[in-house]
Structure 1
Amino acid sequence: MGKKGDEEQMIQVHQLTKNYGSFTALQSVDLQINKGEFVAILGPSGCGKTTLLKLLAGFMKPTDGEIEMDHQIVASKKQLIPPEKRNIGMVFQSFALWPHMTVYEHIQFPLLHHHYVAKELKADVDRRVRDVLKLVGLTEMADRYPAELSGGQKQRVAFARAVAPLPHLLLMDEPLSALDVELRMEMRKEIQNIHRKTEASIVYVTHDQGEALAMADKIVVMNNGTIEQVASPEIIYSRPETEFVATFVGKCNLVKGTWEKDFFIPEKAPYEKWLDTGVSVPLKKKGIYPVRPEQWQLTNNSHSALQGTITFVQYQGKEIHYTVEVENETWTIHESVHSLRYSIGDQVGLTIKTNECELLTV
């Protein structure tokens, strides 16, 4: 994604650090979030992603560094502008609905009390509430209370309440993790629809790589309080910069070997050369070639340079997922259900698909 003009650089995070006593939750984080961008903060539990979201919301001060929103410093170790004085909306995992308020009243509340509501919205609150109800498909539910709603409907109310005052920034903390798988897929479309129609910037915290890849314009992969890589979903998946990104997003196989200019010589197949398809410098320095599970092709050819044993088979509808042991290393391979089928204990050869990587013999 190209860099936008300064007037559209909405949020700048500079060297942000947060300590809890002797524990460092965030370490010198730098990040830019542009106007209208959907940014997913992706990482395992304890990586610092929720701490970053809380700092963006204004719930606490950073230990060091600063946050700038719309060319104004909103957080540093010396000052803090609280959440109610920031032009933001928030959606939580727990929905956080008030049991005594109807759906209509939930959406009405921020329009009456949000610090940044535009005059035209305040001039006709009822019309704005009706518009938002229609946006999230809850027009018929306006007079219901939270106890009368399903999980998906409650989440729609939480989204509606957050977007009603048209905030510049929407912060979402794992909003779909409490829902079942089918409903999560449906709500992904709902969030993308809301993003498209409101044009708000979204910062979406998740540990689910599928959610991040499906919805975000930009993914921030975090680990141990630092940012490992920031890029589009396509780049994160196809050009991981570090071992962590490669294995956390898409379960990459890290093949060890030696780099010689534009070619990689696998340790387990020293008579082969694999062409460089854009492997990062950090991975090259460690003598690693990342291979995605779908880049492998299994054969029953005993003459293949790489040989392995099937140790696990999992049917996944369109794909068969194999676990293959290759000289005491375990690799993951995904093949089409239309490919030749293998069973546990089968000896197989492994090659890289030619449309993914050119394989040359020395």
Structure 2
Amino acid sequence: MITLQGLKKHYGKTAALSQVDLTIQEGEFLAILGPSGCGKTTLLRLMAGFMKPTAGTIRFGDTEVANSKHSNKPENRNIGMVFQSFALWPHMTVEEHIRFALKNHRFSQKRTAEEQAARVTEVLQLVGMEPFRKRYPAALSGGQQQRVALARAIAPEPDILLMDEPLSALDAELRISMRKEIKQIHKKLGATIIYVTHDQGEALAMADRVLVMQHGQIEQVDTPETIYQSPETPFVATFVGKANLVEGTWNGSHFTPAGTQLSWLDNGVSEQLKQKQLFPVRPEEWQLLPAEADGLKGEVIISQFQGTERHYVIRTDGQDYQVSLPIADPAWHEGELVRLQVRRRKTQYATEEVLLELR
């Protein structure tokens, strides 16, 4: 178990991290998600031991590995690290990278030459690189190089695997493929994985829990489903799922969009969003109806065909809303007048589904 308590990191007068308190369970896959400059890489580097916190403590199990006065070096922590840049040595073959990790990782168990050879083969088979064991990095694709970097990190069987945006240098198709690989490896190894990314798709697809950060602070930490379906803050709502924040007024369990007589039933909106008089609606939760129907008046500003769905921008009284509809729904064209309604969705607050209705 990893415990972060009162963790802060300042660079001069700039606060990169402010009061981070977090417990990560043994064997958990935690994704740290946020935009550039939010402090996620700083948090990872503190856990790795590359820097010392300004305040607070880091504990691995019962051992305090860092505080404001002392920080154990990376080699004195039982961790593996996978970087964005792969960081492979050009003069070593694939199998030599794995053998180097087995020989030099301080916490790697002592093995005979035969046991080392068996472990190299086992790890290369796990990441699908056994046929390429004699190749040098220059003869490998980007995806293959990342598999080697991953194999090198897991070979010594570390307790904690730290991954800093490891897929960002790969193309879209390879990233999706590697997500599956990493998730399968996590299931087989059972190690704790801390995975830093700015890609919400990666975080939601792989992690047991997602930690969303902004301005060096934790905005929300929960399961992917809860983060997506029940965002607690405006930032989480817009950063994860790209929710539209509709302004209006809350009255008990009903919300009235500004400038209308409409009433929307509470579908699980957080107290913080209610206090700010906001109602989050994800792009796929909208319905587009003819102009004579009930709903928010709008005009189709942008219509984009995206294969399995169509993306729209609907402008209502100067406010633009993002809408994503299945390709099976009727197509709307730029310049058409429409009405926006919230799609019906079952919630814990009502046995019926969410309805957009006139008072």
Instruction: Report Cα offsets for 1:217-245 as digits up to 9, x if no partner.
Output: 10000001101000111000000000000
Distance in 2 between residues matched to 1:229 and 1:267, nearest whole Å: 28
Distance in 2 between residues matched to 1:323 and 1:121, nearest whole Å: 63
> How many angstroms does 1:121 deviate by?
8.1
Aligned equivalent of 2:40: 49
1:251 paired with 2:242, answer yes
Instruction: Report Cα offsets for 1:10-60 as digits up to 9, x if no partner.
Output: 100111100111111000111111111111100000000000010000001
1:97 paired with 2:94, answer no
**After superposition, where does 1:239-318 map in structure 2 within 5 Å?**
239-270=230-261, 272-318=262-308
Aligned equivalent of 1:359: 356
Aligned equivalent of 2:101: 110
Aligned equivalent of 1:234: 225
Amino acid at match of 1:312: I
Instruction: Report Cα offsets for 1:314-340 as digits up to 9, x if no partner.
Output: 211111010000111010111111111
Distance in 1 between residues matched to 2:302 and 2:23, nearest whole Å: 42
SS in 1 for 2:226: helix
**Which deviates more, 110-119 or 137-146?**
110-119
Aligned equivalent of 1:153: 144
Aligned equivalent of 1:24: 15
Instruction: Report Cα offsets for 1:72-122 as digits up to 9, x if no partner.
Output: 110110111000010100000100001111100101111111111134688
SS in 1 for 2:250: strand
Amino acid at match of 1:310: V
- Asked whether the 8 Å contact 1:44–1:207 carries over to 2, the reply is yes
SS in 1 for 2:202: helix
Amino acid at match of 2:204: L
**After superposition, where does 1:201-216 map in structure 2 within 5 Å?**
201-216=192-207
Aligned equivalent of 1:7: none
SS in 1 for 2:36: coil
> How many angstroms does 1:146 deviate by?
0.7
> How many angstroms does 1:208 deviate by?
0.5
Aligned equivalent of 1:4: none
- Asked whether the 8 Å contact 1:12–1:69 carries over to 2, the reply is yes
Instruction: Report Cα offsets for 1:265-313 as digits up to 9, x if no partner.
Output: 221322x221111111100001011111111100113242311011111
Aligned equivalent of 2:161: 170
Aligned equivalent of 1:126: 117
TM (normalized to structure 2)? 0.96
SS in 2 for 1:247: helix
Instruction: Report Cα offsets for 1:249-275 as digits up to 9, x if no partner.
Output: 1110101111111111221322x2211
Q: What is the identity percentage for the equivalent residue pairs of Structure 1 and Structure 2?
A: 55
> How many angstroms does 1:358 deviate by?
2.6
Amino acid at match of 1:319: E
- Asked whether the 8 Å contact 2:249–2:257 carries over to 1, the reply is yes
Distance 1:167 1:122, change over 3 A: farther
Amino acid at match of 2:283: P
Aligned equivalent of 2:351: none
Amino acid at match of 1:264: F
**Structure 2 stretches lacking a partner, 5+ long:** 347-353
Distance in 2 between residues matched to 1:83 and 1:136, nearest whole Å: 24
Distance in 1 between residues matched to 2:24 and 2:221, nearest whole Å: 11
- Asked whether the 8 Å contact 1:47–1:223 carries over to 2, the reply is yes
Aligned pairs, number = 352
Distance in 1 between residues matched to 2:213 and 2:59, nearest whole Å: 21
Distance in 1 between residues matched to 2:169 and 2:111, nearest whole Å: 35
One of 291, 315, 318 as aligned partner of 1:325: 315
Amino acid at match of 1:45: S
> How many angstroms does 1:123 deviate by?
7.4
Aligned equivalent of 1:3: none
- Asked whether the 8 Å contact 2:27–2:192 carries over to 1, the reply is yes
Instruction: Report Cα offsets for 1:177-200 as digits up to 9, x if no partner.
Output: 101111111111111111111111
Distance in 1 between residues matched to 2:305 and 2:88, nearest whole Å: 40
Distance in 1 between residues matched to 2:237 and 2:152, nearest whole Å: 37
TM (normalized to structure 1)? 0.95
> How many angstroms does 1:359 deviate by?
2.9
SS in 2 for 1:124: helix
